[in-house]
Structures are given as C-alpha cells and as structure tokens.
Amino acid sequence: MKLFNIILWSTSFSLAYAITPTPRYNGGCAAINQRIYCYGGTANRQPTSDHYSLDLTKDFSIANSIESWNNVVPVGDFSVEPNSLFSIVPLNDSYLIHGGLGYGSSTRYLKNTTVVYNASNNSWSAIQTQNQTSLMPSREETCTLDLSNRIWAWGGISDNTTAININKTTYHDEFQVLDLNTLTWSFPDNATEMSSRQTNIPNPRLEHTATLSNSGQSIYFIGGLQVDDSGTSLSGAPMNTVLEYNITSGEWTTHTSPANTTIPASRRLHSATLVPNSDLIFVYGGSVTDAADAVADYTYLLNTTSFIWTPINIANANLGTKSRFGHSAVLHNNISLFIIFGADDLGNLRNDFSVIDIAHWQWVSEFKANGDYANTTAATPSTSTNLNASASIAKSRSSSKQSSSSLNNDYTFISLKYTKTAYLIIGAIVLFTFL
C-alpha cells in the first residue's frame, strides 16, 4: 500500500509539466488567475485541443520563455474537442469558448458549442442554456463581454462544418446574446421593439475584431472580411470604416476616418486591445484579405473619438515579433501585452511570444510580474497619441496593482519538466526493487 501511494504521488506531478508548444494559429488565449491559458488552434493543418498555461507570478526571460509553458491536463471525464477560429472570453476565474471550426469536417461536428474552463478547479464543462436549439453555431465571429455579464456574438459564418443541421451557408449580421446570469440566449435583432431601430444594420463580417469601449456602452468592430450586398462575395472591410454598436440604444453607427490621415491596409485575423482608461484601441498584425500573408503595416492606434488612425513605432524592434496573423493578444496587469503564437510575415506558424510594455511602448526582453518596466529607450514617443496613451496607463497603474494583488495565486498545478517526472518514477521503481 505504501508503495502504491509513492507511485501515485510520483505520477500525479505529471498533471502539469513543462512543454514546448506546437506552432499554431487561430487558437485563443486568456489571462486568468495570474496565468495565461492558450487552447486549441490549427497546428500541422489540423484543429487541436492542446491546452497550455504560463505562470505570470514571477519574472522570466522572454528569450527562454518557450520552455516556460505547462501542458494542462484537467480533472474529470469531460472530453475537450479540437477547435480553431472560435471566440474566447475571459471571465473571473474561468474562460469561455464559443463556436469555431471544430473538427474541420462536414461529417463530424462539435458536441458542445459553448464550453467553459474553470481555472480554480481545473475542469471543463459545457454550458447548456434554456433555449440552446435556437442558437445557430458559427465560426470566425466575435464575442464581447459587457458590464452586465452578457456575451454579444456577432458576425461569422455558419455552414456544413459548424453543425449537422446546417445545409446552407449563412453570414451573420444579427446578434446572439448569452446572458451568463440566467444562461439564456436572446436575439435582440428579432425583437419587435427593436425592429424600427434596425434599418442601418451593417453587412456581415468575419475574421474581424470586437472591442468594448472604455465606458462599456459600445462595441467597436474593426476590419475583417465583409460580405457584399448580394450576400455571396467577400472582400476586405476598409479600415477607415469602423462600426459601432450601442448596447443601450441598440443602434448601429458607421464611423469614417478623416481622408487626410494614414489609413491601415485592410486586414483580417488581427487583434485589437483597448488601452486602459482611454478612448484608444491598439490594433496589431493581421493578414492581407486576399492571401495568407501578414500585413506590412502592423501597429496602429485608433482614436474612437476622432476615428483617426496613428501608426505607432514600438521601441526595441529587435525584441518584437514583427507582423503576425491568427495570433492572440493578451493584456496583463494593464501593462504587459503578450503577442502569442500565430503565423509570421513569412507564413510560418509560430510557438513563441513577445511582450510589449504599453506604458512606454517598447518591446521588453524580460517579463516583469509587477509591471515595473524601466524605459530602455531615450526616444520620445513620436505622436501625441502615444503620449496620451502612456499617460492614461500611468494613471491606471495603482488601481491595477491593487486589483491584481487581490487575485488568488493558489494553484493546483505544479510546474515540472519531463526529466524531473522521470526521476520520480525511476525512484519509485528503485524503491520497489529493494522493498
């Protein structure tokens, strides 16, 4: 019995072990409980169910970070399916996955359209709503969590790879809203009281981004592929046209950037991150809309008051990832912006990441858990937009430190490399030999 306990103790450490991720893109990452979790994506031309975590409680070198990931093996018998091109939404101590390509097959489909990973108890579960059958599963859409704990899903495509009962390709211009308080889906565009206000619904988009405003009242939709008026053809959505949906009024507004300003090239599979305590959105990377090539202009700030785009030069370019698409952008502690995985400017899939200190707009060589980065460049930010963004971040630092310090750092996983696990098992075998 004692021997059995020793062996069980030894093997239990392998529930989380250091691993080098397989290069991938079109997966999803989220920061939860002082860790970054990354799930799924396409690797080796197939959707995967890979699940990795990265510890953010201590400093580490970015150059050596490829060995800092841990493979996450959850408890329970819930089967996590392969998926890519899904939406990921971080919650308090968990994250939600909705929609996606699934198996990438017209004969095998996702059993669960919406699933949640709970980081506190290391388990997956499916969300079963009261009106699940009214939902049309889709991929390449966006999901946005509002301040009332509702998830707004918009855009994307439904076809014979997303669900068994779909025999017609549909591009979505309607909202599907999941209320996490009641676990109920609603469809506000179909409501009678909304019909008179829905005369300006934009054409559907996919592979775009959606960002909740600083006020929490609006969602901004940027870029992606836009469906034409016939509903059959796709083209790159112009970046000088930004869509705004007001959650309170239910109204759409189309904003056009001034003609005499720099306009980014059209793009898809990019990322968009709200700069804390500001009206600025940082857009990174993306693919050109008619090929699998990264865009050449890949760092911009969008002012959502004037809708002026400003190219931003990030210092220490040799430490950065350059252009990527199908990547994840995860902001930690309101300072450290992780650009994770994706495809690079040569079309190669990547398994690494880099970190931008958005207080100083610089790539960093070492991640700082407390967010205290020294300004390593003497250069002054080239635009007033950069200065305003940095000022807003500085004001938010004290509050972000307070909130991050209150997070629960206890975690059931133990980081352990393969060799250490092997030594423990070998030790148990040796002990068995002499008992």
2-434 — its CATH code? 2.120.10.80
The pLDDT score that the predictor gives to residue 427 is 41
Q: Which residue has the higher pLDDT, 9 or 363?
A: 363
The pLDDT score that the predictor gives to residue 10 is 37
Tell me: pLDDT of 80 over 50: yes
CA distance 109 to 104: 8
Q: What is the pLDDT of residues 96-133, one digit of tens each?
A: 999 999 999 888 989 999 999 999 999 999 998 888 77
Percentage with pLDDT > 90 across the chain: 69
Tell me: pLDDT of 222 over 60: yes
Q: 281 φ, ψ to 5°?
A: -120, 130
Q: In sequence order, what are the residues at sequence separation of 6 or more whose Cβ sits closer than 8 angstroms to the Cβ of residue 117?
A: 37, 39, 51, 74, 94, 95, 97, 123, 124
Give the mean pLDDT of the chain: 84
With contact defined as beta carbons under 8 Å apart, do 83 and 101 qualify? yes
**What predicted TM-score, i.e. pTM, was given to this entire model?**
0.85
Residues 139-146: what's their mean pLDDT?
A: 97
The pLDDT score that the predictor gives to residue 87 is 98
Residues 328-356: what's their mean pLDDT?
A: 97
C-alpha 226: how far from its chain's center?
Answer: 21
Tell me: pLDDT of 7 over 70: no
The pLDDT score that the predictor gives to residue 417 is 35
Tell me: pLDDT of 34 over 60: yes
Minimum mean pLDDT range among 54-58, 380-384, 431-435: 431-435
Q: What is the pLDDT of residues 282-316, one digit of tens each?
A: 999 999 998 889 999 999 999 999 999 999 999 99
With contact defined as beta carbons under 8 Å apart, do 160 and 136 qualify? no
Q: What is the pLDDT of residues 312-330, one digit of tens each?
A: 999 999 999 999 999 999 9
Q: What is the pLDDT of residues 378-404, one digit of tens each?
A: 543 444 455 455 555 555 554 444 333
The pLDDT score that the predictor gives to residue 338 is 98
Q: Which residue has the higher pLDDT, 167 or 388?
A: 167
Q: In sequence order, what are the residues at sequence separation of 6 or more whose Cβ sits closer than 8 angstroms to the Cβ of residue 17?
A: 70, 71, 415, 416, 417, 418, 421
> Please, what's the largest Cα pairwise distance for the chain?
82
The domain limits of the chain are: 2-434
